[in-house]
Structure 1
Amino acid sequence: MVSMEDGYWARSVKGSDDATQVIRETLEKSIQEGTLYQFNARLKALIKDDEYGHILEPTPLELVPILLLSNDAIIAHPQHLQELYELIARYGSPKEILLVVQESLDILLQDAKEIENDEEPANLAPAQIIWKWLRLIDMYTLAFPRLVPRKRSAPDTATPIVQHLRSSFESLGALIDPNEPVAREIVEACIRLGYSLLGWFDMVGSKMDEVANCKAALQELLLVAVAEFLSDKHIMRDYDDFTHKLRTAGLDFIPTYLSGPASKMTGRTRTQSLGEFVLYYLSNQGPIRPKGTRQALRAQLTGLSVALNHLRWRQTALGVIRDCVLGGLYEEEFLEEDVAAEIIPIVSTPASTDPDPENRAALFNLLTQMILKVKPVHAFKFVRDLASDECPYLNMRSSAIGLLRRLVARAFSHTPQADNDPFASRMLLEEYKSILFQSPVLEEKNAEGSKSVDAQEMNRCVEVLGFFYVLLARDENNLTGVRDNESIRELRDKLVKPLKAISSELESSSEDPSVFFAVRSVSVSLERIEERFLV
């Protein structure tokens, strides 16, 4: 082993027939002794020598594997180790760098799989794998602009490498905690790589149609990085430098021209759709929504659905609906029916199934706001679909009756009533009566059947009684026909009488507290409606 004292090492390198061997041996010794700072200083001095500025050219295949094994140095001397990665990337053969980085990524993938299978390699932690991953991405960023394309164009050279990097995200990304700073660092590294490649393409004179395929690969790289590594906390915040860079990159990486084979790249995975959805939200931030914002959201429905059902992205999804759907509405402007028709089913499912009651309430509130913003004729259909058996969720069918009551109250609060409002017309009972009177509870004819009554179904009956109470109270001029003799008879025979009989049986026989309290609510509602309207 050579010594680094008194410039002896530099003279040894200059006088050696195999300078790479001398550098490699000295690097190994420096890592063992913790003297990377001195090693880097002498290496930089050597590079500045015009005669030996190329000294690192043949070293990447020799030195990078050594750095990849230097796990202790990541903890003890991370800055010096990072500096050495960068020196090799700046002065080593770019062709060798591209090759060794791809090989190194495959090694990291194997390490990640061993950790995932509880076969964690000795002295290797997930954080160390991610640290190396960052360094390798930055090596690409520094090496590409130095490469002189020969047999293949610059974009054709870069595209498969970008795709290979993207394929590493699934395994390596599983090691990243979105709440840690490294999550943002990975995305920033991908952005730097993208701009490095675009600058390289400009420098070598690549044509637009040649660049398009690689831009598509870069776009997918960014989309997956955003979806896999970030979370609400990075997006739902005041507009800052990071979100600006992310938004700008999302726009700059959009391919403006795609050749035939590239069309295969336009199909989005659910992960890519999620990333695209997040960038869509960033592109529409600001006090004023660009014209067409809501219509543009129709292209992001898959991503919206994924985000709504992904706890890490739930607030971003809600933010998009609030800001880009509801927040873009001006006074007396209605939400477009076609946009609402696409979004309402996406929101209604988690609003019915989310295990957290607060989340369900927030989602249903958003659903309510959307339905209140569409024209009444469209709201009429949306609520009917949610209240009927077409909706598989009983809690949503029950909540929809409450929303129906609210829409009826709104219709009769207008003076004068709108001529075309279906909630203040005979169409209301024509369309909804069969839904309101249809219930397993109302079909129970004896105590044996009543014992198995679902508390949620009883709560739905409470909502139905509340609906009729409000309708009878508001529709004094009988615009809906609710005061017709036939309607009153049906209300009494198909709803009130069966519920009174079942409630009487259940109050004395049910041991289920939830059913008992639901029955009490039914009884109170029955008393109210009978005392005022059915005497």
Structure 2
Amino acid sequence: MLITRVVREGNAVYTLQQLARAIQTYDLTASLDPLALLPLLIPFPDDGADQLIRLITRECSAKEAIVATQEIVEHLKMDPESEEVADDELWLVRQIARALTVYALATPRMTRRKKSPAEQLRPLLSELQSVMTQTMRSTGGTEGRMILGSTRGFMETITLWALNDVQIGAEERKNIADVLFPFLLSTLELCSNSTNGTRSRQAFGSQFPRLVIPTSAPGTSSEPDQPEDALDIIWARMMDLGVTNEDCISQPSQGSLMLLARSPNYAFTTPVLTSFFPVILMSLQANTALDEVLAVLINAIVPLLSQAPRHEFPLDLIVPLAHVLPPLASVHPDPSIRHYTFRVLSAALALAPSPVRVQLLQGLLADPDSSPQMRIAAVGLVKEALLEALASPPGSAEAQRNVFASPALLKTFGPIILRPDPPDLFAPGNTLELEEFLDTKEPLRLVECLSLYYILLLRDVHNRTGIRDKDNLRNAMRTLVDPLKSQLRQWGYDSAAFDGHGHDSGMQLAILDMWLDRVSSSVKDIRQQ
């Protein structure tokens, strides 16, 4: 037969697309044998096979099409590491995607005798889910998008059938939904890195509108066949069958979280967030479903900051987040993910009681396992906490409770922030080359430290932290300001000669010198008061 020849021979005269058109034109579908052809076509890498598979499934025996596909799925389960995998990375997922296509098109055509539609679907999806779980692990890129696309097509076809077939009543539709839902959750978990979604960006834009920089013209959006939209459509079809947010909430999993993140106008309450928290931590640690997880965290945590009195957020959530989020915010390759993660970290810390917040920030600043990027960013987090504390009226109950508006601030953070790292970096006997210094993250950290010190001098006019005490002023000058000034002179930096142009090294030194001048001027003014 010509189809067999095309599949088995590399130099066949006709293509599968040409054969499919000819079969349709001359009404030759009766000559097609699903049991013989589908085992050849489903693994075949040529895209033309899809056209023939659909033709066979629609026009030939539905039972034979399903039986042939079941045999292929069973073979995949028994022998997932076929030698074809080495030459074709899509060999496995292509067959899974095509199996879904066959099941979607053939099941509605099956004769109903003893088995209901849900009973017909259950073993097909159960076996396919077993194969996917066993062989795919966590799939990304093209493979995951192919599975999501085929799942979308399957869900749309089955839902349309369940809603429009007069023989399928409300109870049976619920039974069908009960079969589809666990399969969907499992599939989403396997494809959690393939959604290419924008949920975290949308959540960030909603909660931090002033920080959003427009990246496209108004009114533009992703194409409807993008993977993120595929997942939206899948969830919409499940809701058409009666699946609700409560069904997802009752089954905390990565898949149900991904669906809830896409549910219109749904916001995670703290109790629901708590029930999903093991899933959230696992996702953050495994770097999976980050788009949905960050969207959920942003929308659930950030609004709590504006509540008065401030919401009591569980420490059982804050402390683990404070340990899991920093590595992601430091080293994830996507700058947007780093930024969103850092904002979640900042919000979570802001909800902590100030003694706990102090302890967690101290860990970020001093822990040798913290990345240099996070040690720099943590100085900014201390600055946020400081400004928030100083905004409380002196003598108020909030000011009295807040450690950041007390002498404990300098006792805790002074030895870390108001000195170089290591402390003897600028010691007189320590020969430090300029290039060596600039190759580290220390210049950036020192800029943040000087900035925080300057803000503290400027804002703490009531000396609640003790920053204006003579001893504290003298210690900060001795441990940080004077050694850095001396080192700049030793390197031959001259602020009067620097014109704002030139190498990055000159610019970095100029920024340090600028903050040194600001700090020195503020200290001088305070001493003269």
Aligned residue number for residue 293 of structure 1 = 272
* Correspondence 1:471 to 2:456: yes
1:412 to 378, 382, 390: 390
Alignment of 1:17-416 (within 5 A): 34-37=21-24, 43=30, 60-65=34-39, 67-68=41-42, 75=48, 81-88=53-60, 90-92=62-64, 98-103=70-75, 110=82, 113-116=85-88, 132-138=98-104, 141=107, 159-167=126-134, 169=136, 175-176=142-143, 178=145, 184-189=148-153, 191=155, 218=183, 221-224=186-189, 226-227=191-192, 229-232=194-197, 241-245=233-237, 275-283=255-263, 285-286=264-265, 288-290=267-269, 292-305=271-284, 309=287, 314-327=290-303, 331-332=307-308, 333-334=310-311, 336=313, 337-355=315-333, 360-390=338-368, 392-416=370-394
**Contact persistence 2:98–2:150 (CA under 8 A):** no
2:471 to 481, 486, 491: 486
* Aligned-residue CA RMSD (Å): 5.1
Aligned residue number for residue 440 of structure 1 = 421
**Contact persistence 2:50–2:98 (CA under 8 A):** no
**Contact persistence 1:140–1:193 (CA under 8 A):** no
Deviations 1:76-124 (A, max 9, x none): x96565132234452438656533553488899748614347xx9xxxx
Q: 2:262 aligns to what SS in structure 1?
A: helix
Structure 1 stretches lacking a partner, 5+ long: 2-27, 45-55, 257-265
Q: CA–CA distance in 2 between the matches of 1:531 and 1:231?
A: 50
The percent identity for this pair of structures is 17
**Contact persistence 1:216–1:253 (CA under 8 A):** no
Deviation at 1:244, TM superposition (A): 1.9
Deviation at 1:187, TM superposition (A): 2.0
* Cα distance, 1:328–1:463 mapped onto 2, change above 3 Å: closer
Q: Which has the higher helix share?
A: 1
Q: CA–CA distance in 1 between the matches of 2:92 and 2:124?
A: 31
**Contact persistence 2:385–2:404 (CA under 8 A):** yes
Structure 2 stretches lacking a partner, 5+ long: 2-14, 199-225, 495-501
Deviation at 1:443, TM superposition (A): 0.4
Deviation at 1:457, TM superposition (A): 1.0
Deviation at 1:404, TM superposition (A): 1.5
* Cα distance, 1:364–1:320 mapped onto 2, change above 3 Å: same
Deviation at 1:504, TM superposition (A): 1.9
Q: Which amino acid aligns with 1:323?
A: N
* Cα distance, 1:42–1:87 mapped onto 2, change above 3 Å: closer
Q: CA–CA distance in 2 between the matches of 1:377 and 1:424?
A: 11
**Contact persistence 1:36–1:81 (CA under 8 A):** no
Aligned residue number for residue 450 of structure 1 = 432
Q: CA–CA distance in 2 between the matches of 1:223 and 1:29?
A: 32
**Contact persistence 2:318–2:352 (CA under 8 A):** yes
Q: Which amino acid aligns with 2:302?
A: L
Q: Which has the larger radius of gyration?
A: 1
TM-score, length of structure 1 as denominator length: 0.67
**Contact persistence 1:458–1:518 (CA under 8 A):** yes
Q: CA–CA distance in 2 between the matches of 1:195 and 1:529?
A: 67
Q: CA–CA distance in 1 between the matches of 2:92 and 2:182?
A: 27
**Contact persistence 2:355–2:403 (CA under 8 A):** yes
Q: CA–CA distance in 1 between the matches of 2:107 and 2:304?
A: 39
**Contact persistence 1:36–1:80 (CA under 8 A):** no
Q: CA–CA distance in 2 between the matches of 1:147 and 1:225?
A: 34
**Contact persistence 2:380–2:448 (CA under 8 A):** yes
Q: Which moved more, 1:470-479 or 1:231-240?
A: 231-240
Deviation at 1:281, TM superposition (A): 1.8
Q: CA–CA distance in 1 between the matches of 2:20 and 2:515?
A: 82
* Cα distance, 1:110–1:235 mapped onto 2, change above 3 Å: closer
Q: Which amino acid aligns with 2:259?
A: L
* Cα distance, 1:232–1:161 mapped onto 2, change above 3 Å: closer
Q: CA–CA distance in 1 between the matches of 2:63 and 2:26?
A: 16
**Contact persistence 1:335–1:373 (CA under 8 A):** yes
* Correspondence 1:462 to 2:447: yes
* Cα distance, 1:491–1:292 mapped onto 2, change above 3 Å: same
* Cα distance, 1:508–1:286 mapped onto 2, change above 3 Å: same
Aligned residue number for residue 520 of structure 2 = 530
